[in-house]
Amino acid sequence: MSTLDVRDLSVEAGGRTVVQGLTFSLREGDKVGVVGRNGAGKTSTLKVLAGEELALAGNVTHVGAVGYLRQDPRQHREDDVHTGLEHILGARGLVDLQRSLEKARVQIEEDHSERNVRRFARLEDEYNQLGGYQAESEARAITHGLGLAQDRLSLPVGALSGGERRRLELARILFGGSDLLLLDEPTNHLDADAKHWLMKFLAGYKGALIVVSHDLGLLDASITRILHLDLDGVVEYRGTYSQYRDARAKDEIRLTALAGRQQQEIQRLKTLADSMRGQTAKRARKAKTIDTRRVKLEAKKVTGPARERTFKFRFPEPPHCGKTMLTADGLTKSYGGPAVFEDVAFSIGRGERLLVMGLNGAGKTSLLRILAGQSDPDRGSFELGYGAELGYYAQEHEGLQDGVDVLTHMRQASGADDQTLRGLLGMFGLSGAMAFQDAGTLSGGEKTKLALGQLVAGRKNFLLLDEPTNNLDPPSRTAIAEALQDWPGAMIIVSHDPEFVEALAPERVLMMPEGQLDYWDDGLLDLVALA
């Protein structure tokens, strides 16, 4: 029996049909990786499969419980007042059940009636079946594997950083025991150890799995089939991601050669038919027959797979400024408990690049939010230097507004004319009708490109970059790194991406939460993925 059946599915995103005629089925143990360029419809398709969005056409049927990891944790923080541990246990309904069980226990103490005893026994049996007495231990084991510090589980969800909330939500889904997992970029914010743990977990997972990811290691270690979404439709490949890349490269060579031979034959038939026209009636009829053959061949001609698109981004020269971009002194931040970091002091000069490193929860994002004016420190202060024009890239795209179109976001960042702004959008692959698309309907990669486009449009000379390569496909990730590599402005960078950090070649590193400053050394690259 299939866990998931998809028949003739068409998916729409922002008024565009991004997937058409998708048909496949999954049984227990099937593990599918969904790949494709940014904007190909991967996230939109997962939303439809999870039942969060309606399909444009077709049918989706699944059996059993579904666990769905969204790409953006901001979209499901309705229970921020719950602790992290309660949030995980709630995946099986254990929090409410535990309260009901305790209430039934108190009722027995007050009135030892047969009715109260039966109710308590029924609730305890249900609690046992859901693994209630072992649940906390199981939840803590999962969060430990995902690299979430155990003391963070006692904090409200709203007090956790974006990376911690992401890990918490992934832990909740893995703990839930679903028959079908739909995971959208599950390795975002995970360090190397947590990625390794997740790969092992998914490799041993007995249910059905669909994962959208640009993480090549995950796709090689944990999946057995690939669905490639792109301009040439949906193509299914058996095997790992590496095997898919080899097969697709061979398909491209084979189909390109076939398309060339077909085009030569079409041209030959056209030339032959043209040479017969205007001659005898018999040759004219022959020409018509040849035209029919040519039309049929054109209708059936193949095209090779769409080639992987390459991008070339360019950041403008930064405006003139003084020698010092920012000076921070004694910055301290807490969220109602112990300080996340305290007495952090540093300065950054014109054109300098500073990498902020530390484990999840060490305060990297909190520090950038303070410097960007998005939150206030508990103690300490900072001051921007003369002529410093600050631009902030937030890892969760907090600056993008649902219901506001892409071009309007660019207008908010710059006073340039619409033609210039649309040219910038085109450089980031957001061209044509996408300028008028609701930013809330963009894919994660497209939101990243829009947020970076806003920085370019705003002509900044000092950038705060919080995980800017998350959600980007490999060509876009390379293009962003190359563009920033050549840009002479100042940067404070938070990133788990060793290749990105290596390309930007920071001069110094700030270790959090200690606030210790040191010079950059290439030997630290091994720690980037861990911190």
Residue range 212-242, pLDDT digits in tens: 887 777 777 778 888 887 665 677 777 666 7
pLDDT-derived band at 388 (thresholds 50, 70, 90) equals: very high
Residue where a domain stops, chosen among 258, 285, 300? 300
State whether 351 and 282 are in the same domain.
Answer: no
SS3 category, 327? strand
Cα gap 35→252, rounded to integer Å: 17
Which range has the worst mean pLDDT, 274-283, 302-311, 390-399? 302-311
State whether 267 and 385 are in the same domain.
Answer: no
As a whole number, mean pLDDT of residues 484-495 equals 91
Residue 43 included in any domain:
no
The pLDDT of residue 161 is 72
State whether 258 and 358 are in the same domain.
Answer: no
The pLDDT of residue 62 is 87
**pLDDT tens-digit readout, 245-254:** 776 767 667 7
Residue 211 included in any domain:
no
Q: Which tokens belong to 14?
A: 């922002």
Residue where a domain stops, chosen among 284, 300, 316? 300
The pLDDT of residue 78 is 45
Name the average pLDDT for the chain.
Answer: 83
State whether 251 and 331 are in the same domain.
Answer: no
State whether 407 and 270 are in the same domain.
Answer: no
Q: Which has the higher per-residue pLDDT, 299 or 186?
A: 186
As a whole number, mean pLDDT of residues 389-411 equals 87
| Long-range contacts formed by 132-141: CB under 8 A, 24+ apart | 132/94, 132/97, 132/98, 135/89, 135/92, 135/94, 135/175, 136/85, 136/89, 138/175, 139/85, 139/88, 139/89, 139/171, 139/175, 140/85
Residue 124 included in any domain:
yes
State whether 285 and 349 are in the same domain.
Answer: no
The pLDDT of residue 126 is 79
Q: Are 362 and 309 in contact (CB under 8 A)?
A: no
State whether 394 and 276 are in the same domain.
Answer: no
Query: Is pLDDT above 70 for 355?
Result: yes
Residue 174 included in any domain:
no
pLDDT-derived band at 80 (thresholds 50, 70, 90) equals: low
Query: Is pLDDT above 70 for 530?
Result: no
pLDDT-derived band at 107 (thresholds 50, 70, 90) equals: confident
pLDDT-derived band at 517 (thresholds 50, 70, 90) equals: very high
Query: Could you tell me the residue range of the domain that residue 98 belongs to?
Result: 94-129
Which range has the worst mean pLDDT, 56-65, 128-137, 341-350? 128-137
Residue 29 included in any domain:
no
As a whole number, mean pLDDT of residues 333-352 equals 90
State whether 350 and 285 are in the same domain.
Answer: no
% the chain with pLDDT above 70: 93
- Which CATH number is 484's domain given? 3.40.50.300
Residue 121 included in any domain:
yes
Residue where a domain stops, chosen among 103, 129, 155? 129
As a whole number, mean pLDDT of residues 45-67 equals 89
**pLDDT tens-digit readout, 151-161:** 888 888 877 77
Cα gap 455→482, rounded to integer Å: 16
The pLDDT of residue 332 is 95
Q: How many Cβ atoms are within 10 Å of 304's Cβ, its own excluded?
A: 16
Amino acid in position 130: L
State whether 369 and 256 are in the same domain.
Answer: no
SS3 category, 530? coil
State whether 259 and 386 are in the same domain.
Answer: no
Cα gap 379→381, rounded to integer Å: 7
Residue 101 included in any domain:
yes
pLDDT-derived band at 521 (thresholds 50, 70, 90) equals: confident
Residue 190 included in any domain:
no
State whether 387 and 460 are in the same domain.
Answer: yes
Query: Is pLDDT above 80 for 111?
Result: no
As a whole number, mean pLDDT of residues 158-186 equals 86
As a whole number, mean pLDDT of residues 204-212 equals 89
Task: State the total domains in the chain.
Answer: 3
State whether 247 and 394 are in the same domain.
Answer: no
The pLDDT of residue 314 is 79
**pLDDT tens-digit readout, 279-334:** 777 777 887 888 788 777 777 676 655 555 566 777 888 899 999 999 999 999 98
Residue 278 half-sphere exposure toward CB, CA atoms < 13 A: 3
pTM over 0.75: no
pLDDT-derived band at 79 (thresholds 50, 70, 90) equals: very low
